[in-house]
Amino acid sequence: MSFDLNMGISTATSCSHLSPPLGTVKHQISKLVKISLAKCFPGDACIEPLVAICTNKFGDYQCNNAMGIWSKIKGKSTEFKNPNSVGQAIVRNLPQSEIIGSTSVAGPGFVNILLSDEWVAKSILNMLCNGIGTWAPVFDVKTAVVDFSSPNIAKEMHVGNLRSTIIGDSIAKMLEYSNVKVLRRNHVGDWGTQFGMLIRYLFEEIPDWEDANKNAIGDLQEFYKSSKRKFDADEAFKKRAQEAVVKLQKGEEQYRAAWEKICEISRNDFSQVYKRLKVEIIEKGESFYNPYIEGVLKKLDDLGLIKESEGARVIFIEGQTIPLIVVKSDGGFNYASTDLSALWYRINEEKAEWIIYVTDVGQSQHFDMFFSAARLAGWLPNNSIPKTNHVGFGLVLGDDGKRFRTRSSEVVRLVDLLDEAVSRCKQELTQRLENNGKISEWTDAEIAETAEAVGYGAVKYADLKNNRLTNYTFSYDQMLNDKGNTAVYLLYAHARICSIIRKSGKDMEELKKVGSIVLSHADERVLGLHLMHFAEIVEEACTNLLPNVLCEYLYNLSETFTKFYTSCQVVGSPEESSRLLLCEAAAVVMRKCFYLLGITPVFKI
C-alpha cells in the first residue's frame, strides 16, 4: 500500500498483490447479486440476476430483479410490501465487496450500484501490470470454427470476399482473445463441375497455358468465362467437359495435375491479399470434404431424411417452399452436400462447438436450410452446443449507389484497391511531414510502414464500423479523412497519447510498479469506467457477432480520452503519475481494439 500525496487516499499499488478480475464487471456484480438473491429468497432455488450497465447518473450498473420478483410474490404473505422493499432487501443482503462504492434503490425497486473508485483504479493498474488478457470475457465454448473469406478458385477475389475476410478475421480475433480455440477455415470453392469445363478448355485451346501464365489468375478468369461460353454453345464440348469431371473425380493423373495447377495459381493470388491484410487462414476447401459426402448422406438417409424429388435427392424443410437438394438429378453433389459434410466433420472430427460462417446475406437461405437439415438430424440441439451462425453482410457500393465496380465496370481487383489506399496515405503523409518540417525525422521505411498501417486500417475500419447487414459506400476520401469516425483519426489519436507519454520522459514500466491511479476528477472517472467496459463490449460483439460494436466503443474511447485530456493536465501536474498511468491504460485498450479489428497501430505521427 502507498499513499498518494494529493488525495491522502490509500490505493493498492503493488501489482503482484492484486488478483486478476474474473470475467466482466457485469459478471462480477451478478455474482454478488446472486448471493444476495439466494439470501433474500432461500426458497426460490436460483433466481437469475438481471444486471445491466446503468444509463442514469445514479449508478454504473443496475440490478433489475425487484419488479419481476414482486409480481411473483404479490398477494402472498411475505415481509415485502412493494417492489421497492424487494430492492431494499437485495441491497441489504449484498455481500461485502471492494467492488461496490455505494448503492441506492430507485422507485419500483431498481438497485443502482456505483463502483468503488478505488476498485476501478486498482483494476486498471492490475490490467497494466498483468496484461489486458486479464480482462478477457469468458465463454462456455472451447473450440470454434470461423469459416470466412472462402473465394472461388479460378475466379478473381471480389469485394464480397474482402468483406468476409475482414469481418471473419475480426470475429476470429475476438474469440481468440476470449480464450476460445479458433479454427480459421478458408472454404475455397475448389470442386465441382466447372473444373471439367475449364480443364477441357485449357487442354484444347490453350496448350501452353501452364508456362505462359504463371500466376496469371486474371487470365484464368478469362479462360473460365470462355470455357463457360463454349460449354453453353457446343454440345460436343459439353460432353467432353462432363467426362473430364468424371476423370478428375476418379483422380486421373493429367486432370488431377491440371486441377492442382489451377488451384495453385489462384492460391498465389489470394495469398497476396492475405499478406497485405495480415490475415491468417487455413485452406480446407470444398474438395477436402468430398470423401466424406457419401458417408454423411448415408447417415441422413438412415434417419429417413432424404427423399426423392424430380430425379434429385432432397431434404424437405418445414416452412421452406423448396427442398434442400443434396444429390443433383445427374447424380452429382453440390454446395449443400459439401456444406453438410463439412459441418459433420467440424462437429465430429474437429470437435467444434460453435461454427460461424461469414458470407454475404444473399446466401442466408442456403445456411438456414442446411442448418435446419442438421437440426433434423439431431446434430444441432436447441439452445445448446454445438451451435451455428451465419454472419451475413450487405453489399459494397460505389459512388453511384450501385455495386462497387471500376470505371470500365469490371470487378475491382482487391490488390489494386488496397494498393491505392496505401499510395494515397503515403502521399498525404509525405505532404504533411514536408509542410510541418518533420520529414527529416522519418526514415523511408517508417513512412512506408505507417502508410500501410493507415491505408489497410482505413479500408478495414470503413467496413467494420457499419452494422454488417447494411450496404456501405466505398469512398477513399471518406475513409482516409483524418476527422470523424475513421481509422486515420483513431490511429492518430492513439499516436498522440503515445507522444504525451514519451514527452513526459517517465519510465512507464517503473511507474506501473511503484505508481498508483487515483480517479479524483469526474472526467478521470468517466475514462476509467469506459476502460472497464472493454470486456463487456468484446463479449457483446462476440455474442452477437457484430464487430461494429467494438468500433463504436473505440471511437467513444477516443472521445472520452480527449475530454479527459482537455480538462486534466497530465505532464507537470501534481497528479502526473496517476494520469500518465491512465493515458497508458487508454493506449493499451485502444491498441487491443485495433488488434481485434485487424488494424496495425501507429505510434508516431
Q: What is the CA radius of gyration of the chain?
A: 29
**Residue among 346 and 533 whose Cβ is closer to ligand ARG:** 346
Q: Cβ closer to ligand ARG: 150 or 450?
A: 150
Nearer to ligand ARG, 342 or 549 (CB): 342
Phi, psi of 375 (to 5 degrees): -70, -40
Q: Does 472 bind ligand ARG (CB under 6 A)?
A: no
In the complex, least distance from residue 223 CB atom to ligand ARG, rounded to whole angstroms = 19
If you search the block for the grid coordinates 465496370, which residue do you land on? 409
Torsion of CA 517, 521, 524, 529, to 10 degrees: 90
Q: Rounded to the nearest whole angstrom, what is the least distance from the CB of residue 288 to ligand ARG in the complex?
A: 11
Residues numbered 269 to 328 that lie near ligand ARG (CB under 6 A) are none
> For residues 597 and 277, is the Cβ–Cβ distance under 8 A?
no
Of 377, 399, 396, 449, give the one whose Cα is nearest residue 602. Answer: 449
CB of 471 to ligand ARG, least distance (A): 17
Binding mask 147-166 for ligand ARG (x = CB under 6 A): x--xxx--------------
**Residue 88 vs 359, nearer CB to ligand ARG:** 359
Distances in whole angstroms, Cα of residue 198 to Cα of each of 222, 256, 387, 558, 575: 10, 13, 37, 52, 70
The residue (of 127 and 342) whose beta carbon lies closer to ligand ARG is 342
Q: Which three cell numbers stand for residue 376?
A: 433434423
Count CB-CB contacts under 10 A for residue 397.
Answer: 17
Residues 184-223 that bind ligand ARG (CB under 6 A): 187, 189
Does position 169 interact with ligand ARG (CB under 6 A)? The reply is: no
Instruction: Give me the least distance between CB of 353 and ligand ARG, in Å please.
Output: 17
Chain residues 504-563 in contact with ligand ARG, contact rule CB under 6 A: none
Give yes or no for residue 359 binding ligand ARG (CB under 6 A): yes
| DSSP code string of 243-309 | HHHHHHHHT-HHHHHHHHHHHHHHHHHHHHHHHHHT---EE--HHHHHHHHHHHHHHHHHTT-EEEE
369: nearest Cα among 334, 319, 305, 329: 319
Nearest to 192 by CA among 76, 338, 35, 5: 338
Choose one: 35-43, 146-154, 293-301, 572-580; the region binding ligand ARG (CB under 6 A).
146-154
Q: Give the residue nearest to ligand ARG (CB).
A: 150
- Least gap, CB of 312 to ligand ARG (angstroms): 20
Question: DSSP labels for 356-415?
Answer: EEEEEGGGHHHHHHHHHHHHHTTSS-TTSSSEEEEEEE--EE-TTSSB---TTSPPPPHH
- Reading the block at residue 333, the C-alpha cell is 453433389
Supply the minimum distance, in Å, between the C-beta of residue 206 and ligand ARG.
Answer: 25
Nearest to 14 by CA among 155, 110, 130, 111: 130
Tell the smallest beta-carbon distance from residue 339 to ligand ARG (Å).
5
Judged by CB, which is closer to ligand ARG: 11, or 359?
359
For ligand ARG (CB under 6 A), the number of binding residues is: 10
Instruction: Give 442's Cβ-side CA count (13 Å radius).
Output: 22
- Asked if 13 interacts with ligand ARG (CB under 6 A), we say no
The answer to whether 357 contacts ligand ARG (rule: CB under 6 A) is yes
Helix 534-543 vs helix 25-40: crossing angle, to nearest 10? 90
Least distance between ligand ARG and beta carbon 151 (Å): 6
Q: Shortest gap between Cβ of 357 and ligand ARG (angstroms)?
A: 5
Q: Which of 117, 339, 463, 539 binds ligand ARG (CB under 6 A)?
A: 339
CB of 292 to ligand ARG, least distance (A): 14
Beta strands in 64-176, from DSSP E residues, in sequence order: 100-106, 110-115, 143-147
**Nearer Cβ to ligand ARG, position 83 or 151?**
151
The residues that touch ligand ARG, with contacts defined as CB under 6 A, are: 147, 150-152, 187, 189, 339, 342, 357, 359
